[in-house]
Amino acid sequence: MPSISRDEVAHLAKLARLAVTEDELDLFAGQLDVILQSVASVGDIATADIPPTSHAVPLTNVFREDVVRPSLGQQQALSGAPEAEDGRFRVPRILGEEA
């Protein structure tokens, strides 16, 4: 069924926040096409009357009492941060040309 173009792969990469290279676009376009063709058969047997299963175990919301418990301290939470400043995560600019 599917035939996925190089442009579509570039769009997917953008959505997935992957700055893929030109070479990768060629490689992935071919591979994603093969993979998607191989898995498209699920559509052949999945008829409208079959309910979907999202999870093997029937789940309901799990609640607990709203009580304070020990958790990671600020220093621990920041311990793996690429950059931290004044007890906070330091991030690159989030506003700019796009805004």
Residue 16 interacts with another protein (CB under 8 A): yes or no: yes
User: Which residues ranging from 37 to 56 are in contact with another protein (CB under 8 A)?
Assistant: 38-43, 45-47, 50-56
By the rule CB under 8 A, 5 interacts with another protein: no
CB 28 within 8 A of CB 9: yes
Distance (Å, whole) CA 79 – CA 99: 31
Angle at 62 between CA 52 and CA 67, to 5 degrees: 160
Of the pair 7, 89, the CB lying nearest another protein is at 89
Residue 88 in the binding site for another protein (CB under 8 A):
no
Q: Is 15 in the site for another protein (CB under 8 A)?
A: yes
Q: Choose among 1, 23, 6: nearest CA to 14.
A: 6
- Residue 53's Cβ-count burial label (10 Å; 0-12, 13-18, 19+) is exposed
Residues lying near another protein in the complex (CB under 8 A): 4, 8-9, 12-21, 24, 27-28, 31-32, 34-36, 38-43, 45-47, 50-57, 59, 62, 64, 72, 76-77, 79-83, 89, 91-94, 96-98
